[in-house]
Structure 1
């Protein structure tokens, strides 16, 4: 009985082993069949040669070596393509040479008298702020300094170094200077906009600027102009009013003109002399970075977008969008705060920074040589300079408009002599006729893009693998 059971168990084990071997052979046959079907229809060059049933061993070895070499070359080319993509090199090309100028707003025009104040209002100021007779000389000395003040000439306050400034330190001289600044009807007349006569005081409004309180045209209304040529933009007559200037200011007489893009606080000013009619032709160049570059850090891209407020390079004037010029202006404020613990708010829009009092003005004069110039990083190896300047980590905005001005001045001595002989108003009050207009109706547009973007990388890899 026991022997029979042992034989039965042995027979069952043999059957189970045979069944398992049969299943394994079927599985191996299925995998080999699948692999054979894949290799026979594969598009990988030479791969199917390895599995030909009639292929000799020597030929199979040669094909294996050939495939390995091809694989190594493929990996090397892929590495080169990835490295080229990783370098993130840029190229700037002309995107459009005839972009209509009507697509941009006409520039903002600032006009200022080099003598910032109307001295005839000094008695009114004295009465309004209860200036005593003993304080009057100091007030006149302070306002004479303000009369010649600009962001690059803070040294006019050196004359206040040994004065008793505490007696007038309670006064807000930014407010006083704004009240004494030239009004529209005192500085501008004979206005024409787009060949139509206009009321000057409807076009020009007072506005702080880095030359003081000036008059701004077109700051609030961003009107476009498609016409080009002399007389098609803004034409105004600027009145010098030399009889109303501060007697203690011996600086040269004239006007200051600034042409900026809307939204920009200030730019490099243009000096205008009286008795010389001035034509200012404007050309524009537009430069933008395409969207393929937006995924890169601003430092690598070397430009900044409006919404990149978390960038270390993002700083701008309060209430203004990011622009290179606004960043530089804010940088100047921060340097004033660093040196003198205050900022001369006459030059900037209202902000949360502490404004300078009268007793702080000599400190600004002492640091004038450090505040009037900008300096780029690492430029000292290439540029000779006597004084260090402001180091501002400001990047260009990724969509920037550059305004190029061509200034032509024409002296009108004969006209002036005839006007004086006739006793006309302009003969006794020296003036200039200012004409600002577009010279071309098209804009040159530059586009900066990646030389090798991620789409180019994918396309190259696809071409290599197919």
Structure 2
């Protein structure tokens, strides 16, 4: 250590001696003003102590001119490399590329609520209540055929099947336009005690009507389990979740609806309005094993706009991608449902409120039903922006630019169906009935996390490395340079200005 200090002191002696020699020469000759000498001393005081490599060597008095030029070129090259690499680092930071990693491969399944199980009869209406409804709404004998034709269409209605209203074209619908068919359909919808029995939750018997509640869906009126309660279940395997017997009662179906009999099942996350339908056929026992995959974006990504990260948070209501059903949180499925309503409004100036939660949109009346049928071919599929050239469909679909929720849960279902034998159908009323069992497949779930590949911490570390590589300096060196340029130089000229004024 002593030797290094001596060497450093000796290396600076020529500069000090040179400065003293210059001062003595200038003092004797009087060829340079005193201010120039003071400025050189100030510059020497900074350069001789600077931690930026190469500056000191440039001002050595013993350095030959040729070597001084070479050292200047070396410093210029180092600065050029520094500027170029710094530009590349800044560009990489501004690109904000993402990566998705597995944050947890065995997260406990009880961290999430049990799925919402929605059951819909393919025959939406209990036709045995038709006489009661006709009497309640004062339907005359002349109106009965058209009234029943409309209800038969509603019996098989879903969002993609508005063609059920084809038969209503050129009919005198104005005579029934005063009726609220959404309310009539609700009055004729199946009740929980009519199609559900022998319910079991978490291996304990329950009253089905205490578990299920009415629910609107783009399939009509249905029954939903666990929508509001958000019950949890740590158990897994067959029989540990929801078990229910479904009863068709086909003798109470609309005689004009000749579609296949059965039920439609939706297994969705809480707050999701609807998901992919699963068909349940008669004479079967259907076991639905549910696996969960949770995906979230970390906090660092939320500073970016939703268009960059391709997902939306619930609080980003100012985002161009934030569209959801009234009163519902943002979910991709809810955004698509809202998109469906907007297209119904575009084509027919009304929306079928039977499918969606209450809203401020105008509800379709009887005279609007043929319009829905006429535009059914335009409501068959949902597209993302720019997707149509790559899809082999004649007509454009619903262009819904709906992004995922930044904290989304994906439920993966696996179905196992087995045919019920005659001895398993305990009584005649259950003919064409079926069993449904929904349960967690395993006790854990996958959690994925999306984060930024290159954050501001990585940028800072990279900048530090390239500064050290090119100039051998650090943050302290930059502070020294700022101190010299912003404090010492202005102070020098200020003192010089005051000295001139005094003269």
TM-score w.r.t. structure 2 length? Answer: 0.84
Are 2:403 and 1:401 aligned?
no
Hey, what does 1:188 align to over in structure 2?
A: 196
Counting only pairs closer than 5 Å after superposition, residues 273-284 of structure 1 correspond to structure 2 as 273-284=281-292
Between the aligned partners of 1:199 and 1:35, the Cα distance in structure 2 is: 91
Distance 1:97 1:290 in 2: 17
SS class of match (1:207): strand
1:4-42 Cα deviation digits (max 9, x unpaired): xxxxxxxxxxxxxx9xx99962x5555434433332232
Distance in structure 2 (CA, Å) of the matches to 1:272 and 1:363:
31
> Structure 2: any 5+ residue segments left out of the alignment?
1-26, 468-473, 475-503
- Report deviation, 1:53: 3.1
Query: Match of 1:218?
Result: 226
Which of 106, 125, 128 lines up with 2:133 in the alignment?
125
Q: Which moved more, 1:106-115 or 1:293-302?
A: 293-302
Q: Which residue number corresponds to residue 4 of structure 1? A: none
1:136 Cα offset (Å): 1.1
**Matched pairs, number:** 440
Shift of 1:382: 2.4
**Alpha-carbon distance in structure 1 between the residues aligned to 2:98 and 2:312:** 15
Structure 2 CA distance for aligned equivalents of residues 144 and 429 of structure 1: 23
What do the CA deviations read for 1:425-446 (whole angstroms, capped 9, x no partner)? 3555431110000102211112
Q: Partner of 2:358 in structure 1? A: 350
Residue aligning to 1:238: 246
Match of 1:308 in 2: 316
Over 3 Å counting, the alpha-carbon distance change for 1:69 and 1:428 in structure 2 is closer
- Aligned residue in 1 for 2:437: 435
1:54 Cα deviation after fit: 2.7
Q: Is the 8 A contact 2:104 2:448 kept in 1?
A: yes
Q: Does 1:286 align with 2:294?
A: yes
Map 1:61-140 to 2 at 5 A.
61-140=69-148
1:417-432 map, 5 Å:
419=425, 424-425=426-427, 428-432=430-434
Which residue matches 2:261?
Answer: 253
In the alignment, structure 1 segments of 5+ residues that lack a partner are 1-17
In 2 relative to 1, CA 86–282 (structure 1 residues): closer, same or farther, beyond 3 Å? same
SS in 1 for 2:350: coil
Q: For residues 121-148 of structure 1, what are the alpha-carbon distances to aligned partners after superposition, in whole Å with 9 as ceiling and x for unaligned? A: 0111011101111111111111111111
Distance 2:224 2:415 in 1: 19
In 1, Cα distance between equivalents of 2:86 and 2:428: 76
CA contact (8 A) 1:242 1:429 kept: no
